[in-house]
Structure 1
């Protein structure tokens, strides 16, 4: 019996998680489609690797024999989640991933009753998407139980990995998303912008993006109106708004292939840049009477937080037997989980 299989282990974040898992004595199975890349990764770590694609359910099932937890690190998760999730449901294996894609959260949430029946945990979003924001939302809900509106924002320094860049390109054709009166609705790209105050007192301009909390925060807190923001330069925000008129073009397969090819050339931040670049997360709630409450977190680089958060959740599942079903970070781990991760501070 192997404790965990990391699918997409040869990707940018998968490599980081695999290396840290070994330091923690977890000895994961490394998996994915690229045999040469997996061999290169597995050999120095002295780990087992399994090479398989996701088109054949029987092949997936064979390669999940003896596994207790699947941690999916292969994006875009809109392509990889469903076949792995279905295999986990068939074989009674916990399913985790590091997605930030709203459609994937929705897909996993719809599997809640099946997961309950099979006694497995289905938990997408075990990393920077959406652990700090979800925990912050749950903390704010405790402070204001009658909140009707939630705003979440973040500043993520350090640059994207190839997988994150490809996922972002895929999301451009889908426009923006917000939750309004309990429903996830489509909104224009860069729908709203606003200012957030950093720990040092400086101001950052942020714009609405279709971050995963648009879906998950409602599940965690019941707050019916949710907007999610990311800090960006004003020029980038202007360019995003211009793309509203080109969405039809961005959805064309040849255009997506070209843009994702370019995005895939991104190297991702090296270790020095990860160590030097932190992030900040903001949260605000408001009730029907207009009363407000806010909190903020300082966190390490998003990739470093993803490694620590994901493996902490893996270790929790290895040590405990929670009831089966769909979970968000705060529902499984508690709203204070993020505060126990390395380098995270509550700013008030």
Structure 2
């Protein structure tokens, strides 16, 4: 029996997770659509592979025989989550993925009651999206239980993977998102901007983006107003605001196809780029009286954190008998989970 399957194992992040899993002796089944790419990955790692697409439920079910946990690494997850999640619920297999897509979090959350009934853990967002930010949100909630406003921000260097780039292209057509009075609402691209201070004292401009915590941090903390920011140059903020007028154009199928094609050719950061480019996370929670608490973390490159966070969650699920249902990172792993991952520390602390 092979307890773990990595679907989309031949993608950028999937390869990183597969290699580290093999190094740890986990021996996951590598799965996806591309037989040649899977063979090229599985043979040197001495791992089993299964080749299947996601358009035939019976085929997915057959390939989940003997599997306890699926970790879906095949983005955009707006296309791969639903069929894999349905199969996992039918086969009583725990479903994990590394998404950052708000609609995917919502789709998974809507499966909570069924997952409870089937004893299946449904846990999207096991990587940089949204483990460190969810932990920051939960730690701030512990410090300020009556917080009613949450700001989360991050700076991620090193460049995107092809999957992340394609997801970003899809998101351009939708615009921004924020949580206001408990509801996820549409807002313009680069709706708000502000500044964050790095550990080295440098000030970084940032703009709101539709990061997954708009959905998940509310589930984890109950804080009704949530804004999520990404640190970018001011010229990027201005460019994003100019794109508001072209949003209708970005949604057209030929334009999306062109931009998706360009995004798919993104290489993603190599090992040297990942090792030399870390991330910083910022969080601020405020209550109705204006009291504010803040917390900041320094982490490794987001892709390296995705590997360690996801495999830590896999190990945890293999070691326990969890109750079924939808989980955010802190609901299953606790608010301090990120602090135990390699290379993560609070700003100002060793």
Shift of residue 325, structure 1, vs aligned partner: 0.4
SS in 1 for 2:10: coil
Residues matched between the structures, number: 348
Aligned to 1:69: 69
The equivalences for 1:145-156 within 5 A come to 145-156=145-156
Give the 3-state SS of the residue equivalent to 1:67 in structure 2. coil
Correspondence list, 1:306-345, <5 A: 306-345=306-345
In the TM superposition, residue 230 of structure 1 has moved relative to its aligned partner by 0.1
Instruction: Compute the displacement of 1:347 (Å).
Output: 1.7
Is 306-315 or 240-249 further displaced after alignment? Answer: 240-249
Counterpart CA distance in 2 for 1:201 and 1:40 is 45
| Structure-2 residue corresponding to 1:207 | 207
Is it true that 1:2 corresponds to 2:13 in the alignment?
A: no
The residue aligned with 1:288 is 288
Is residue 252 of structure 1 aligned with residue 257 of structure 2? no
- State the partner residue of 1:223: 223
Distance 2:74 2:286 in 1: 37
Deviations 1:113-140 (A, max 9, x none): 0000000100000000000000000000
- Give the aligned partner of residue 57 of structure 2: 57
Report the CA distance between 1:213 and its aligned residue: 0.0
Aligned to 1:15: 15
2:115 corresponding residue in structure 1:
115
Q: Secondary structure at the residue paired with 1:248?
A: helix
State the alpha-carbon separation in 1 of the partners of residues 110 and 312 from structure 2: 25
Distance in 1, matches of 2:17 and 2:86, equals: 23
Q: 2 CA distance for matches of 1:290 and 1:112?
A: 35
TM-score (norm 1): 0.99
Corresponding residue number in structure 1 for 2:183: 183
Deviation at 1:321, TM superposition (A): 1.1
Q: Where in structure 2 are there 5+ consecutive unaligned residues?
A: none
Tell which deviates more after alignment, 144-153 or 1-10. Answer: 1-10
CA distance in 1, matches of 2:124, 2:305: 15
Shift of 1:234: 1.0
Gaps of 5+ in 1: none
Pairwise CA distance, 1:3:
1.4
What secondary structure is seen at the aligned counterpart in 1 of 2:114?
A: helix
SS of residue matched to 2:258: helix
> Could you tell me how far 1:235 is from its partner in structure 2?
1.0
Q: Work out the CA distance in 1 between the residues paired with 2:107 and 2:35.
A: 29
* 1:216 Cα deviation after fit: 0.1
RMSD: 0.5
The Cα of 1:24 is off from its aligned counterpart by 1.0
- Report the 3-state secondary structure (helix = DSSP H, G, I; strand = E; otherwise coil) of the residue aligned with 1:100: coil
CA distance in 2, matches of 1:253, 1:124: 27
Q: CA deviation at 1:162?
A: 0.6
Report the Cα distance in structure 1 between the residues aligned to 2:218 and 2:240, rounded to whole angstroms: 26
* C-alpha distance in structure 1 between counterparts of 2:249 and 2:35, whole Å: 35
- Tell me which residue corresponds to 1:85: 85
Q: Secondary structure at the match of 1:26?
A: coil
What is the rounded CA distance, in whole Å, between the counterparts of 2:116 and 2:263 in structure 1? 38
Any residues of structure 2 matched to 1:272-283 within 5 Å, and which? 272-283=272-283
4+ aligned runs moved over 3 Å, structure 1: none
